[in-house]
Amino acid sequence: MRAVLMSEPRPALHRIHFSVALRHPVLGVTSRSGFLIEGESGWAEWSPLPSWSREEGETAHRGALETAGNAFPPVIQASVEINTMIPRVAPDIAARMAVAAGCHTVKVKVGDPEGEDRVRAVREAVGPAAHLRLDANGSWDLEQAIRSLEVLARYDIELVEDPVPTLADLARLRRRTSIPLAAEASIRTMEDVIEMRRLDAADVLVIKPQRIGGIVAALRAAELAAIPVVVSSALETSVGLAACLAVAAALPASPYAHGIGTATLLAEDVASDPLLPIQGRLVPRRVLPDLLLGARP
């Protein structure tokens, strides 16, 4: 697969500040804020998470300008299968959220005292046919991860994202578990992708297009990784999710659903036609933030 080339970012035409609340906290994040940027080709989002470094925020800004100023890449997949994501909520709430989403793949946050109970509740709620993946957000050290995965394996786990915080430990863990492992939090630059491949650290790359620098950078990272790729949101509004979806749609079909179903976690959105999954799938498109257009400068 060749990355799609785009021209240099053009100046933004308009910027609109936004702030939206989440229905449930996600690792302490209770709202998302940033700027929607209009360029010659449409709208893009710049909303670095609080945990991102200044350099990552600047990289995300360059990517947003590029997205606003250029057409989305050609589509390979007319619709994209996505997973729903369950935060660290009480097990009964997790089960209800998983069923309500209607997705065939459910990602459950773990790494906290209720992690196993949450996984059990979701598995019982969605049944044996659904794909169940976990995200520990680097909460375990190597030995804790080994013990935890031995326990959680009974729930038929598709893959585990970020069980440990570093690529070196991920490579060690991969040789001690049969559950496929995915790298996300440790992949922040192209150099990280190269290091992941050198260490043979992961079975799957999970990539946030905004953090790595936009659509072209994300496609380049996927090409460098040479392993299956899952495109993941950073809890963006539907405007930002559209860019994530554009990356997923420009990639060859993957055995894994993409993590772009997070509009359901927003208590509000910036568009009257948000990117909400239908039967676990999304169709790639630009999103117009019409609910905020009255705020134009």
What was the pLDDT predicted at 6?
A: 45
Query: CA-CA-CA-CA torsion for 187, 189, 191, 195, nearest 10 degrees?
Result: 0
Residue closest to 131 by CA, chosen among 227, 196, 204, 201: 204
CA distances from 25 to 22, 30, 82, 85, 131 (A): 6, 5, 21, 12, 24
What was the pLDDT predicted at 12?
A: 58
Give per-residue pLDDT as tens, 257-267.
999 999 999 99
DSSP type of residue 259:
B
What was the pLDDT predicted at 10?
A: 54
**Marked catalytic residue, from 123, 133, 188, 208:** 208
**C-alpha to C-alpha distance for 145 and 139, rounded to whole angstroms:** 9
Query: CA-CA-CA-CA torsion for 272, 42, 185, 161, nearest 10 degrees?
Result: 50
What was the pLDDT predicted at 13?
A: 77
Give per-residue pLDDT as tens, 29-42.
999 999 999 999 99
Two structure tokens written together for 164 = 């440990």
Give per-residue pLDDT as tens, 157-208.
999 999 999 999 999 999 999 999 999 999 999 999 999 999 999 999 999 9
3.50.50.60, 3.40.50.800, 3.20.20.120, 2.70.98.70: CATH of 80-292: 3.20.20.120
User: Which residues, 6+ apart, have CB-to-CB distance to 100 below 8 Å?
Assistant: none
Two structure tokens written together for 249 = 């749609």
Class of domain 14-69: alpha beta
Give per-residue pLDDT as tens, 42-98.
999 999 999 999 999 999 999 999 999 999 999 999 999 999 999 999 999 999 999
Active site includes 109?
A: yes
pTM of the predicted model as reported, rounded to 2 decimal places: 0.92
Give per-residue pLDDT as tens, 129-164.
999 999 999 999 999 999 999 999 999 999 999 999
Residue type present at position 120: R
What was the pLDDT predicted at 7?
A: 45
What was the pLDDT predicted at 296?
A: 53
What was the pLDDT predicted at 295?
A: 52
Helix (H) or strand (E) holding 216: helix 215-225
Give per-residue pLDDT as tens, 202-252.
999 999 999 999 999 999 999 999 999 999 999 999 999 999 999 999 999
Active site includes 107?
A: no
Residue type present at position 143: E
**C-alpha to C-alpha distance for 208 and 235, rounded to whole angstroms:** 10
By the 8 A CB rule, do 243 and 6 touch?
Answer: no
**Marked catalytic residue, from 88, 109, 133, 258:** 109
Two structure tokens written together for 244 = 């994530």
Count CB neighbours of 194 within 10 A: 13
What residue spans define the domains of the chain?
14-69, 80-292
CA atoms lying within 13 Å on the CB side of residue 223: 12
Two structure tokens written together for 111 = 């790494």
